[in-house]
Structure 1
């Protein structure tokens, strides 16, 4: 809080891209679009999008606003992406493996999204005072243990932990009551963990900015000063080492070493799987999906930060190549001047018919260049392209038929399907898949039947792979378009009121 002076607050409110986004006339529409594109808990969200993909998403968003009769965002998508990048709300960059621009959120847009999300959920979300206090106490206790180099103090702490664990072991073995968290405490700790996870994912943008700042500084130094290649490379490596030695760099390296360890990943996935099967938080579907995507999301975030180092290397390579080209150009100019002077001297000597002077020569200050043959890349044959044009015949009938099939596809309503299971199991402890389909008949066809089995697999209900049953599915005949009846053999699926009553889930057998 020592940095929260009046001048600092005034400067922040006047210059911060986060505040400019929140104060913008289109703040609600921009924040909603950025959150839906980059932060939604579905398979379509990503860390970055190509220019064409984000333009397509923004154009669809504009069409939705037009259908809702909202007269906003009427310009071209390219214009808005350019303006949002210039404002610091989107980061535009060129990946090494792509020829087109990509976009990702900046730390300023992350802060704006998190601020709005926290403000809107403040009244509805659980305020975890007890879990946060315990987290603070545990963190401080761990800090004291980790900061002390006194062996007697460390030994005393370890013995105290062992005594506490041994006492609990003896209590459980003796038939004592196993202490568990109250459902409210479970939900409180779960929401605290989810909030920390969201904060962690947003903090990666700050780490990326550090690496990008290094690249810009190296580029500015190389353009401002006429320095040698070795000096540019040395300054860049020194700056990168400095970032790794700072607190953020040390913490990030420890994070990467832990997360990329196979044992740590396996243990984390097992813990997440067990957490998602706890009944007290079974209704928190959005938060559960967020936690389920935790490992791949964090791996992608870390990989994205590591790519910044690669982009720094590419910047160095480009700068050094530019300097090499400049050196070659200056060398060519010097050689041309030498040839001009030599020709002029020769013409003068020929005109005066004088003998060639003995003191003509040239001195070159240079060093011996040492090159290793191992630095040369292996020869690869040049890529060839078949430039012979192929004649393509467009069948409009096939296109129209496939377009009608695409338009007729329907999405599965996962939340309503899970609500049907909850209502059915509220009246009886369990219900079979055929009886559940009678309560909610299939509307989409066989794919909806597969959806019920997918829900049973994800939510821990019973799937007996050793027994099968037939279920009739009413669908349309693909050739005639008339009604048809299919009999599909599937494993016996039983939905239970609580997950403890269900046996251990087994792999689903693909419907035939």
Structure 2
């Protein structure tokens, strides 16, 4: 296995392969471009820093125009911002993906996996004031131990391993009882946290790689549909075979396992509690907030959503092809029937000299003995003359009183009272002063309020967390776009 890996790497690093990569690979072409600093700095600011996966063309053009103002001599070639975006997204460059989202008629852009690899490589060139090796060394040993433990088939060795772990845990418990607790030093804490944030960013980059594989499968399927002249069953079989290859690959299995884990409510709850505990550490004050790791779970979910959306698009494309073929066949049959009717009308008044065709029956009539139904006597309906009496319901009436009523006028008063001293205020600040009493129902009522005194605005690129209270013994909250209530006087001014 090691020899195969070395051989593959040797072929990859050969002169011919590297020359081909230098000429055609988008990552290398981007780094070697004349305007690479201008391009990469803009892509990093718009896509990597904000972690956005789809930016409208009008907004991206506006941001690029502002970015070009800070770049000297960039307008000497008389190219507009839109010209640059079109150039970066064509097949010759492949640094941006240009597409139309579902239910939207405006072009959107997303960063390609190749461009993200360029940004990652340039980021790695930054001279770091802190290079931690202990945490990575421990991670290497842990991974190797996991491999050995996960592939152990001998029950005796497995029990011996578990007994050793049990002894280590009991030894640590005894030390804690004696007050001899081991603590991580500040350097060790920072090293492990920086390693965790680095791996979290790498996971986001992996999403684009998986998504690109499914997009390539989608493109190949469209090309096959355009050229296909065989049966629909063979095309569907080829599609599911290629899709299954991706699912069964190491990358596909790893992605499915990751998605199942991150969708677990227990995993997300554990992650949020862990981040809360980390924020309390003095050695990481300010570092956690700047890293953005507290919202990385939602970034992971958003990235995986794009992967599943590509799978959904491919399924719709295949279904549309099958439906189109079905409709085409139906139109052909209807046209044949129509031609027969037209021909029959033409021959209606003509007298045929001889019989040219005879049909006794359209199909043979076969009557079997067992097809005859046995005689069944009719059922007699008996009417019972009996007086009806009123009974008592055994159903619970608690559901009738479980209806949650939200006083909308009270919520409007909460907003107005808060806007007396402020020209605008966010929904989160209002709820801090007036906590939710009816949970999600009350929150949705806030979002549907409209009044003559104030105006409701929603910031799509900014988010805030709203505490819903205790639900089933757990503290619940939701993440929503930031909502602002503004006095209409302030809006008019």
Q: TM-score range by the shorter chain?
A: 0.5 to 0.7
Equivalent-residue separation in structure 2 for 1:254 and 1:246 (angstroms) = 12
Following TM superposition, by how much is the alpha carbon of 1:57 offset from its aligned partner in structure 2, in angstroms? 2.1
Pairing partner for 1:233 from 227, 233, 236: 236
Following TM superposition, by how much is the alpha carbon of 1:330 offset from its aligned partner in structure 2, in angstroms? 3.6
Equivalent-residue separation in structure 1 for 2:139 and 2:272 (angstroms) = 22
Equivalent-residue separation in structure 2 for 1:342 and 1:328 (angstroms) = 21
Residues 312 and 71 (structure 1), Cα distance of their counterparts in 2 relative to 1, 3 Å cut: same
Alignment correspondent of 1:357:
356
Following TM superposition, by how much is the alpha carbon of 1:93 offset from its aligned partner in structure 2, in angstroms? 2.5
Alignment length (residue pairs): 359
Equivalent-residue separation in structure 2 for 1:225 and 1:47 (angstroms) = 33
Retained in 2: the 8 A contact 1:37–1:46?
A: yes
Retained in 2: the 8 A contact 1:219–1:319?
A: no
Question: Normalised by the size of structure 1, how large is the TM-score?
Answer: 0.64
Following TM superposition, by how much is the alpha carbon of 1:343 offset from its aligned partner in structure 2, in angstroms? 6.8
Pairing partner for 1:322 from 324, 349, 372: 324
Matched residue of 2:49: which SS?
coil
Alignment correspondent of 1:216:
219
Is residue 199 of structure 1 aligned with residue 198 of structure 2?
no
Is residue 279 of structure 1 aligned with residue 282 of structure 2?
yes
Following TM superposition, by how much is the alpha carbon of 1:197 offset from its aligned partner in structure 2, in angstroms? 1.5
Alignment correspondent of 2:406:
none
Mapping of residues 368-447 of structure 1, within 5 Å: none
Retained in 2: the 8 A contact 1:89–1:108?
A: yes
Deviation string, structure 1 residues 281-300 (Cα, Å, up to 9, x no partner): 335367x4321221111111
Question: Normalised by the size of structure 2, how large is the TM-score?
Answer: 0.66
Equivalent-residue separation in structure 2 for 1:72 and 1:186 (angstroms) = 50
Equivalent-residue separation in structure 1 for 2:358 and 2:81 (angstroms) = 71
Matched residue of 1:103: which SS?
strand
Alignment correspondent of 1:249:
252
Matched residue of 2:124: which SS?
helix
Retained in 2: the 8 A contact 1:96–1:311?
A: no
Matched residue of 2:109: which SS?
strand
Deviation string, structure 1 residues 38-70 (Cα, Å, up to 9, x no partner): 1115xxx522112222223223323444xx675
Residues 101 and 151 (structure 1), Cα distance of their counterparts in 2 relative to 1, 3 Å cut: farther
Mapping of residues 285-324 of structure 1, within 5 Å: 288-324=290-326
Is residue 259 of structure 1 aligned with residue 259 of structure 2?
no
Equivalent-residue separation in structure 1 for 2:151 and 2:322 (angstroms) = 44
Deviation string, structure 1 residues 54-113 (Cα, Å, up to 9, x no partner): 223223323444xx6754685233222221111211112232232333221111011011
Pairing partner for 1:136 from 130, 134, 140: 140
Residues 72 and 341 (structure 1), Cα distance of their counterparts in 2 relative to 1, 3 Å cut: same
Retained in 2: the 8 A contact 1:94–1:101?
A: yes
Matched residue of 1:293: which SS?
helix
Task: Return 5+ residue gaps in structure 1 as ranges.
Answer: 364-444, 458-512
Residues 69 and 84 (structure 1), Cα distance of their counterparts in 2 relative to 1, 3 Å cut: closer
Following TM superposition, by how much is the alpha carbon of 1:161 offset from its aligned partner in structure 2, in angstroms? 1.0
Alignment correspondent of 2:8:
3
Deviation string, structure 1 residues 133-160 (Cα, Å, up to 9, x no partner): 1111111101110112222222111111
Alignment correspondent of 1:29:
38
Is residue 47 of structure 1 aligned with residue 53 of structure 2?
yes
Equivalent-residue separation in structure 1 for 2:60 and 2:330 (angstroms) = 42
Matched residue of 1:91: which SS?
strand
Matched residue of 1:3: which SS?
helix
Matched residue of 1:47: which SS?
coil
Equivalent-residue separation in structure 2 for 1:307 and 1:218 (angstroms) = 16
Equivalent-residue separation in structure 1 for 2:186 and 2:47 (angstroms) = 32
Task: Return 5+ residue gaps in structure 2 as ranges.
Answer: 1-5, 363-420, 433-493
Equivalent-residue separation in structure 1 for 2:322 and 2:77 (angstroms) = 43
Retained in 2: the 8 A contact 1:62–1:73?
A: no
Retained in 1: the 8 A contact 2:64–2:81?
A: yes
Alignment correspondent of 1:95:
101
Following TM superposition, by how much is the alpha carbon of 1:33 offset from its aligned partner in structure 2, in angstroms? 0.9
How large is the RMSD of aligned CA atoms in angstroms?
Answer: 3.2
Retained in 2: the 8 A contact 1:269–1:295?
A: no
Mapping of residues 89-128 of structure 1, within 5 Å: 89-119=95-125, 121=126, 123-128=127-132
Equivalent-residue separation in structure 1 for 2:33 and 2:297 (angstroms) = 35
Matched residue of 1:92: which SS?
strand
Retained in 1: the 8 A contact 2:98–2:108?
A: yes
Q: Which stretch shifts more, 135-144 or 79-88?
A: 79-88
Residues 355 and 258 (structure 1), Cα distance of their counterparts in 2 relative to 1, 3 Å cut: same
Following TM superposition, by how much is the alpha carbon of 1:115 offset from its aligned partner in structure 2, in angstroms? 0.8
Equivalent-residue separation in structure 2 for 1:197 and 1:125 (angstroms) = 20
Matched residue of 1:2: which SS?
helix
